[in-house]
Amino acid sequence: MKKNILYIHGANMSPVSFTLIQTTMGSHNVVAPEYSIEKPLDKNVKRIARLARKEFKDQPFDIVSHSLGGIIAILLLRTRLHIDRIVTISTPLGGSEAAASLRFMYPNYQLYKDINPSSDIIKKANNIKLKVPVLSIITTGGNSTIPFMKEDNDTIVTVASQTVSDNPEFHYVDLNHFEVLLSVEVADKIKLFLDGENGRKRRNYMLPNNTMKDLLSRVRSFVK
């Protein structure tokens, strides 16, 4: 039976951003909706939930999400959808301090309303108990020095915001917010996770790059 995967892109992006990951996953059923950041995030969550229910029926499915899409993915756990596993990539689960400042300059910009740290939607996401396995890809490359983002970041999201939850398996990569979607190593890590490879249970554990490469070589030798 083919695996079902729901892909949720980041703000101002599209499902095309998941091309490498989709290719790495091999043959599977894909649902990859687009959404508008001009609409409140909770409305996008409801629409994507309806679409997933329509396409997957009562079948289980995984979610692969990037940036803002990761917040949507976590909020989907509040529904009755049959979600097996979730991958979040560069996701600002703690919100954005930059958005908190910029929303006063651009009060009508919906995205800044949604992702400032004190917003209702961010609070809801952080209050959800993660009852399914979650892999969070944490991006640390870039280090933007703009006034609104002085701490460690990936040029768009701070590392602190990506790591507010103590529940997921964290996997740190020295890539920026966009490079991560072009990484073969990251795509392979996601495939291993969605195929049921949990790795060690220890929180914040990440295999060294050479160990991961060796593991992937062994896995590939078995499936040839």
**Region 85-97 average pLDDT:** 94
List residues bridging with 138 in a β-sheet. Answer: 172
pLDDT given at position 104: 74
Instruction: Give the total number of structural domains in the chain.
Output: 1
| Summary mean pLDDT of the chain | 87
Distance CA 60, CA 44 (A): 21
Sign of the alpha-carbon torsion through 37, 42, 87, 151:
positive
Q: CATH number of the domain that 138 lies in?
A: 3.40.50.1820
Q: How many CA atoms lie within 13 A of 224 on its CB side?
A: 6
Top-confidence residue, 210 or 120 = 120
pLDDT given at position 72: 98
pLDDT at 28 over 90: yes
**Region 62-67 average pLDDT:** 99
pLDDT given at position 195: 95
| Range of the structural domain that residue 100 is part of | 4-223
Q: What is the pLDDT of residues 125-169, one digit of tens each?
A: 999 989 999 999 999 998 776 666 778 989 899 999 999 987 779
Q: Among 40-49, 104-113, 178-187, 204-213, which is the least confidently predicted range?
A: 204-213
Q: What is the pLDDT of residues 1-19, one digit of tens each?
A: 899 999 999 999 999 999 9
